[in-house]
């Protein structure tokens, strides 16, 4: 049982919630109650969970020495010596194999998106995470790939505005994390690339990304020909502004993404957004 807990810790299963993005195309296509398409989306979700965990393992192997110098990251299974490098490599390869095996049940284009995800993560971990600006764009792109992969899994094209909105939203979240890392007490020790940034740049980029997130989402609600969907923009605006408020307030929080899950106002507003969008797509006849 202890070994299983160590494996799950190293796999960072608590991060699997990010992969729910593959369900976005299913929700917004109006086919969430289609058993076949829902099944494909679930397979895509599990494939990305396995892929993400394998990426985390290999990244932790590469960063083992720097993680041991960090006050929080040194608690990770590999850095703490709870999981050997050899075992981590075997587990990572196994998870990668499971992800590819899951992909065999889906269209070839999904496999291509998953392979691109692997390649981008490898390039990021190997070299590109040290390149200012490019590294945040890459991390945001990895979120976007989940949505694109979700469309390929069900064979339904998504709106270009939804794709753009996903990218800018992901960029906003990544920049929010970089800001808190930059101002945190131990921020300078957590990422080498932080030495290349200054607070003014991050905050200007943060402002641009939140504006683009809201604008592209609002435009998406207009072009999808769902008139009442436009009003869901208010929920989105509140969540993003609330998140921005919290990352400025909680200056020493190195994991701002946790604020999205722990803050009650954000949680209930996001829940209302899900309910409202579901009602517009599935509960309002004739629109």
pLDDT, tens digit (0-9, with 9 covering 90-100), for 20-56: 999 989 988 888 889 999 999 999 999 999 999 999 9
Question: What distance in Å separates the CA atoms of residue 91 and residue 86, rounded to the nearest whole number?
Answer: 9
Calculate the alpha carbon distances from 237 to 14, 87, 213, 266 in Å: 26, 45, 9, 11
| pLDDT, averaged across the chain | 87
Statement: residue 251 has pLDDT above 70: no
Question: What distance in Å separates the CA atoms of residue 38 and residue 85, rounded to the nearest whole number?
Answer: 37
Q: For the ranges 54-63, 183-192, 199-208, which has the lowest average pLDDT?
A: 183-192
Query: What is the reported pLDDT for 189?
Result: 52
Look at residues 119, 120, 156, 174 and name the one whose alpha carbon lies nearest to residue 148: 156
Statement: residue 144 has pLDDT above 80: yes
Give 286's pLDDT tier (boundaries 50, 70, 90): very low
Give 180's pLDDT tier (boundaries 50, 70, 90): confident
Give 254's pLDDT tier (boundaries 50, 70, 90): low
Give 252's pLDDT tier (boundaries 50, 70, 90): low
Give 233's pLDDT tier (boundaries 50, 70, 90): very high
- What is the residue extent of each domain of the chain? 159-287
The residue-averaged pLDDT of 63-70 equals: 78
Query: What is the reported pLDDT for 227?
Result: 74
Helix, strand, coil shares, percent, the chain, to 5: 80, 0, 20
Tokens of 98: 């499971």
Query: What is the reported pLDDT for 127?
Result: 86
- DSSP conformational letter for 192: G
Tokens of 118: 């692997």
Q: What percentage of the chain exceeds 90 in pLDDT?
A: 50
Query: What is the reported pLDDT for 120?
Result: 93
81: left (phi over 0), alpha (psi -120 to 50) or beta: left
The residue-averaged pLDDT of 218-232 equals: 85
Give 284's pLDDT tier (boundaries 50, 70, 90): low
Give 261's pLDDT tier (boundaries 50, 70, 90): confident
Give 73's pLDDT tier (boundaries 50, 70, 90): confident
Statement: residue 287 has pLDDT above 60: no
Query: What is the reported pLDDT for 247?
Result: 86
Q: Which residue has the higher pLDDT, 5 or 54?
A: 54
Query: What is the reported pLDDT for 43?
Result: 96
Query: What is the reported pLDDT for 190?
Result: 61
């Amino acid at each position: 049982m202890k070994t299983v807990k160590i494996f799950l810790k190293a796999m960072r299963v608590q991060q699997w919630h990010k992969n729910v993005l593959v369900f976005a195309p299913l929700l917004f296509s109006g086919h969430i109650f289609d058993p076949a398409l829902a099944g494909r989306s679930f397979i895509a979700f599990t494939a990305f969970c396995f892929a993400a965990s394998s990426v985390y393992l290999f990244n932790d192997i590469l960063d083992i020495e720097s993680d041991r110098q960090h006050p929080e990251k040194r608690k990770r299974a590999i850095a703490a010596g709870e999981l050997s490098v050899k075992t981590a490599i075997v587990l990572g390869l196994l998870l990668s194999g499971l992800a590819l095996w899951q992909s065999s049940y889906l269209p070839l284009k999904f496999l291509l998106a998953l392979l691109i995800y692997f390649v981008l993560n490898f390039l990021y971990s190997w070299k590109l995470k040290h390149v200012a600006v490019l590294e945040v764009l890459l991390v945001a792109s990895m979120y976007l790939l989940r949505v694109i992969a979700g469309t390929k899994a069900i064979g339904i094209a998504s709106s270009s505005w939804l794709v753009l909105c996903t990218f800018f939203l992901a960029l906003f979240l990544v920049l929010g994390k970089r800001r808190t890392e930059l101002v945190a007490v131990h921020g300078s020790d957590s990422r080498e690339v932080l030495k290349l940034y200054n607070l003014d740049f991050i905050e200007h980029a943060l402002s641009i990304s939140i504006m683009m997130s809201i604008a592209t989402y609002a435009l998406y609600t207009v072009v999808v020909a769902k008139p009442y969907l436009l009003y869901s923009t208010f929920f989105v605006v509140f969540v993003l502004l609330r998140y921005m408020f919290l990352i400025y307030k909680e200056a020493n929080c190195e994991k701002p993404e946790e604020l999205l899950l722990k803050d009650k106002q954000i949680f209930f507003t996001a829940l209302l957004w899900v309910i409202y969008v579901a009602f517009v797509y599935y509960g309002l006849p004739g629109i």
